[in-house]
């Protein structure tokens, strides 16, 4: 099993709808979780981090964490064409600080106007 798994997509969502991106991880004791966004031809940028079970909201973005199920998700409400990008889930090994991140292969999201 890969350490961090994501559906590669592509995921197509109509403008204004909710986009749901999912990520599972194998290390049961992981404590930190990150979502990076990468536009085509650009570099990744951090959009959300979450450390505790439950939901964390930041504007139109909500990260959800379920440690028992080893599952983290990213919801994008009121999706906009500018949200079209690849979303990368990243998890650091438990015995490292957040500097050593293992990335999923990413989910390509397309928002359809």
Residues near other proteins (CB under 8 A) are 42-46, 49, 88, 96-106
Nearest-approach distance from CB 28 to other proteins, in angstroms: 21
Rank residues 94 and 96 by Cβ distance to other proteins and give the closer one: 96
Rank residues 71 and 103 by Cβ distance to other proteins and give the closer one: 103
Cα(75)–Cα(61) distance, rounded to whole angstroms?
6
C-alpha to C-alpha distances, 58 to 24, 80, 90, nearest whole angstrom: 21, 16, 18
Give the chain's length. 113
Nearest-approach distance from CB 98 to other proteins, in angstroms: 5
Rank residues 41 and 113 by Cβ distance to other proteins and give the closer one: 41
Cis peptide before 88 (omega within 30 of 0): no
Nearest-approach distance from CB 104 to other proteins, in angstroms: 7
Decide: 107 and 90 in contact? Cβ < 8 Å.
Answer: no
Rank residues 6 and 62 by Cβ distance to other proteins and give the closer one: 6
């Amino acid at each position: 099993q890969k350490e961090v798994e994501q559906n590669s997509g592509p995921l197509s969502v109509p403008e204004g709808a909710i986009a749901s991106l999912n990520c599972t991880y194998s290390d049961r004791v992981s404590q930190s979780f990150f979502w990076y966004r990468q536009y085509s031809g650009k570099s990744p940028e951090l959009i959300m981090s979450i450390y505790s079970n439950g939901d964390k909201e930041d504007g139109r973005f909500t990260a959800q964490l379920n440690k028992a199920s080893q599952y983290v998700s990213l919801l994008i409400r009121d999706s906009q064409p500018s949200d079209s990008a690849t979303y990368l889930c990243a998890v650091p090994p438990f015995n490292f600080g957040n500097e050593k991140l293992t990335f999923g292969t990413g989910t390509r999201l397309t928002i359809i106007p």
